[in-house]
Structure 1
């Protein structure tokens, strides 16, 4: 690969970058990029990866870690980088979900955990509520804490956090044995939350592993940052805060649809403070026509209280492009019928 000077690098695939997008790519240090729908958040990360690799700012054997909230987002980012930079460079990008990142670390470093909370190698990950409920009932955890299912796992997680902070085990040894060892079933049951906490425990108590992680990844990308949970943010903070690793977080502070699922409400402010991050705003909406952008701006002003920003539309649109309609329905059945009918009509138009 021919190394190019940073000043000579330009975006690939005919992409035009607005000023703050260019700054986000070239800025040294931790960066928070706040951007609305259609602004090219994922594309920005793909272009930044190409910039760091082609200019040798991220030289071998250093790597880039990209973390997304969902599997499809992690896959999409990896594919974009392959398409932009080629497979030879993209091999130095690890694009994972938070859960996959935590599991990878646990599988690598499980042996350093104390025996009392060290899961068996062939552990099984529980992913739905019924499985977790059964695990907690079988371990007598609900009975021990005299609490309901909704609070049971949360209580367990909180007590492991206390164990991390105080460097001692809080729960009775019997409970840990039942959860992490082969006393109930021929395998260990874990949840992704437990896996993440065990990894935080490892990084907290083993500075060699923490240093190795930071030396491996010179740059970290955080996509869909608005969906990050408390536990996921704590994992990132433990892994990379106050280190030479440079973190770029990208998200939409108005698209907070995952708060019900535990997304950290103050994640943008916390990242700015904890990582001393520079905040940049993308103002170009490449996806939506002007009339739709005008509607979005009106909705933002009524729903949010973080100041008005002049969202711009791409030059590919004409001023009057787009269509906005207001539909009022009697009930959800009436709404479903008319929406389905409209979709069918639009499909017929393109066939």
Structure 2
């Protein structure tokens, strides 16, 4: 890394601050990268600069959050420096740590070919454990339990430590799941016995490997002389703890570069903490941390950038910065205050139609962003009304969501109880002890008698408890029909959701996904209410 080494041509593509962030290799570096400021270019050029200065590629560890980001990073580096990029350890936290764990598996009592459980595997195992422990499935909702365990792991809380924290135990007790710690403990035992890790374990076991095995820790501290972390504002406590294990030790050069933006932290629900990026300066201040702020936005016009700056000033915890743009004033941002979500949806559709006709634009020239999936319903209805084709990205159409189909199935049964597909969908939702074996007997009896399934529900020769459940379901559906005949659609829908137990089931799931489902169903109810009110006018 001699000062006389000529600078590569790619350095000329950078502005002065980017150039400093790229070429400052020694010691801790924090790059605060505002939106559209060339963050990816800085990361890839920094690695390219290292390689051009003689740093062996295998000594570089670049951690990203998505496989796509890692792949794009490698491709960009390769375009700049050629095949040398192939030796760089670049990938997601999970993929790279899985690679290391397979190499070092014997140290933590795992086979090198351990299985990685996905979400469905995790939920299936937890469901079996909850069933075997004879716990109430409503209180020990598998999604809630999985989320609770995942959050604990992100905080470096093992089952043993969990059991020693009164605050967590009290929270579980208040939520009517006092044995959650036992479920957590048994889950970890069963995973270990099966030679399996879930995604959170890939991080937790990596930390334990570095924490408990000095030789292994020194091996990787020595190998990775340069560590880079992308989207640092989205790291959780566990991920930052692993990074510190790799770079924060006696005699370390602490060549660690983290890139992120405190103002773009949006993954708190996954355990990410903005505190990491705020603490980095404090943690590495004794070692001469250098901070570079990328404040030049190359993506947006001045009006957009200045509006964003103004909003961000209200953040209570932040790294002060002022993003600027030289792309001209641009069009002014219009803020339209609608009186209702219906008016909002109509005005969005109106504006799209107006812009299409005025400027001869295509449908693909427009994008509509919304905060929650439940909000798409109104937008979709108005786009359909104007025959404007659309695609929903990052989620499914409002009416294709499971919870919406469930509610509509109940409403269909109220109107037409012999609707077999609707009946099959909800007869055991929420759980009523009517499983596949029972339904097979019901279907067989109905077929032999030549009658709809609904009509024979209370005639099936099954155990008393199951027979009672079938008869109760039939009586409930008949009551739903009576309510639907007497009340308006909104009152009937509210009644059915309440008496069926479906709404209560949703409310017991406090995970982010569960809350989203509640919002989606609330959106459907709002749509029904609006329909009733409009019909009465």
* TM-score greater than 0.5 by the shorter chain: yes
Q: Determine if contact 1:139/1:178 at 8 Å carries over to the other structure.
A: no
Q: Which residue of structure 1 lines up, in the alignment, with residue 158 of structure 2?
A: 159
CA RMSD of aligned residues (A): 3.4
Between 1 and 2, higher relative CO (CA 8 Å, sep ≥ 6) is seen in 1
- 1:100 aligned partner: 95
Following superposition, the deviation at residue 349 of structure 1 comes to 2.4
Q: Would you say 1:280 and 2:292 are equivalent positions?
A: yes
Q: Are the structure 2 counterparts of residues 273 and 89 from structure 1 closer, same or farther at C-alpha, using a change threshold of 3 Å?
A: same
Q: State whether structure 2 residue 259 is matched by structure 1 residue 262.
A: no
Question: Which residue of structure 2 lines up, in the alignment, with residue 79 of structure 1?
Answer: 75
Report what 2:45 is aligned to.
47
- CA deviation map 1:97-142 (0-9, x unaligned): 111122111111111114xxx36734132235xx423322434599
User: Taking structure 1 as reference, are residues 308 and 202 closer, same or farther at Cα in structure 2, changes over 3 Å only?
Assistant: closer
In the alignment, does 2:177 pair up with 1:198?
Answer: no
Unmatched 5+ stretches in structure 2? 163-180, 366-537
Please report how far the alpha carbon of residue 173 of structure 1 lies from its aligned counterpart in structure 2 after TM superposition.
9.1
Q: Which has the higher strand share?
A: 1
Match of 2:309 among 297, 321, 338: 297
- 32-41 vs 137-146, greater mean Cα deviation: 137-146
Shift of the 207–77 alpha-carbon distance from structure 1 to 2, 3 Å rule, reads: same
Question: Equivalent of 1:24, from 18, 21, 25?
Answer: 21
Segment drifting more, 302-311 vs 47-56? 302-311
Offset at 1:250?
A: 0.4
Residues 35 and 281, structure 1, Cα contact 8 Å, conserved in 2: yes
Q: Secondary structure at the match of 2:336?
A: coil
The verdict on how the C-alpha distance between 1:6 and 1:70 changes in structure 2, with shifts beyond 3 A counting, is farther
| Length, aligned pairs only | 326
Which runs of no fewer than 5 residues in structure 1 stay unpaired?
A: 164-169, 183-187
CA contact (8 A) 1:38 1:288 kept: yes
Structure-1 separation of matches of 2:334 and 2:62: 38
User: Shift in Å at residue 249 of structure 1?
Assistant: 0.3
1:247 positional shift: 0.9
Quickly say closer, same or farther: Cα 1:220–1:285, change in 2 above 3 A.
same
Change beyond 3 A, Cα 1:132–1:71: same
Residue of structure 2 in register with 1:215 after alignment:
222
Instruction: Say whether residues 1:121 and 2:119 are aligned partners.
Output: no
1:134 aligns with 2:124: yes
User: Rg: which structure is higher?
Assistant: 2
In 1, the alpha carbon distance for the partners of 2:331 and 2:69 equals: 27
Pick the aligned partner of 1:321 from 306, 330, 335: 330
Cα offset, 1:306, TM superposition: 4.1
Does residue 267 of structure 2 align to residue 229 of structure 1?
no
SS at match of 1:49: helix
CA displacement 1:150-187 (0-9 Å, x = unmatched): 43455576226859xxxxxx9899765422114xxxxx
Find the aligned partners of 1:254 and 1:35 in 2 and give their Cα distance.
10
Question: Is the contact between residue 8 and residue 52 of structure 2 (CA under 8 Å) also seen in structure 1?
Answer: no
Could you state the TM-score of these two structures normalised by the residue count of structure 1? 0.79
